Amino acid sequence: MSITSHAPPDISPKDPSEDPDASVAATAPVPAPAPALVPVVPASARRRSVPRWVRRTVGPLLLLALWQLASSFGLLAADTLAPPSTIAAAGADLITDGTLPAAMGVSLQRVAIGLVLGGAAGTVLALLSGLSRLGEDLIDASVQMLRTVPWVGLIPLFIIWMGIGEAPKVALIALGTAFHLYLNVYAGIRGVDEQLIEAGGSLGLGRWGLIRHVVLPGALPGFMTGLRYSLATGWLALVFGESINADAGIGFLMNQAREFFRTDVIVVCLVVYAFLGLTADLIVRALERLLLQWRPTFTGQ
């Protein structure tokens, strides 16, 4: 009977040269550290080293400087067009004596009333025509026919019908603004995707639910576009409207300045028209960004 030996295992350290695995581990290269991450800056951001508002003001300032130089060297006569310095002085005088603020208030009131009346009429007609085929048959043809008539040419009829007071001025502004809102709201309603209508119907929305949750939000971009066009047309109609025997307003100041060949006052009134129109457009654009946050759009590069 053989006796099996139970000797303890040999735990003494081995020579690395005798263990092939240990020699491979000892000679393995140490991994290099990971490179540092560098933030990637878009090319458009790298190009915009100068603020945008600075770049947008370079053109107007350069034009004013050339204008002033041409007037100073006699290339542009003051009787033809007053220099910017004279125009600025005239504007300061009109503001100081309260003439210009009062005229601005009267003109703003006329535009506001005309825009509300014309905008309401154009929007209501667009809703009736866009949401119903019967409404389209009854309304659209008449509106399209009236739209082709130059609304400025209706001034003599407005004077005969309404006299020379405030009514023809407001009516002219309302007529000029109504068509833009009608066309854009109508196009916005008819431009709603048919698949969205079907999806809303499958979710259980009725007719009024579809109009409220699908059609009207889809037509909102068209309404905002029409509102911007209506504001621009409203200021244009104001210029023509205030030429109808006006006794107050910016147009009244322009007519007075024309009688006395005051080109500086005329340019001040034109600048005020442009400032009011630009301010109104900026307000509508801010409102558009607020109401249309759900619609991503391309903003340029």
* Per-residue tens of pLDDT for the chain, all 301 residues: 444 555 555 555 555 555 555 554 455 555 666 666 666 655 555 555 677 777 778 888 888 888 888 888 888 887 788 888 888 888 898 898 888 889 888 888 899 999 999 999 999 999 888 888 888 888 888 888 888 888 888 888 888 888 888 888 888 899 888 988 999 998 888 887 778 777 777 777 777 877 777 778 878 888 888 888 888 888 888 888 887 777 888 888 888 888 888 888 889 988 888 888 888 888 888 888 887 776 666 555 5
> What separation, in Å, do the N-terminal and C-terminal C-alpha atoms of the chain show?
95
SS3 71: helix
Q: CB-based contacts of 161: which residues, under 8 Å, 6+ apart? A: 168
Q: Quick one: 162 exposed, middle or buried, by C-beta within 10 A (0-12, 13-18, 19+)?
A: middle
Instruction: Give the global pTM.
Output: 0.71
Q: CB-based contacts of 277: which residues, under 8 Å, 6+ apart? A: 231, 232, 235
Q: Quick one: 101 exposed, middle or buried, by C-beta within 10 A (0-12, 13-18, 19+)?
A: exposed
Residue where the block lists tokens 């040269």 = 17
For 176-186, letters b (16+ CB in 10 Å) and e give: bbbbbbbbbbb
Where does residue 213 fall: left (phi above 0), alpha (psi -120 to 50 degrees), or beta otherwise? Answer: alpha
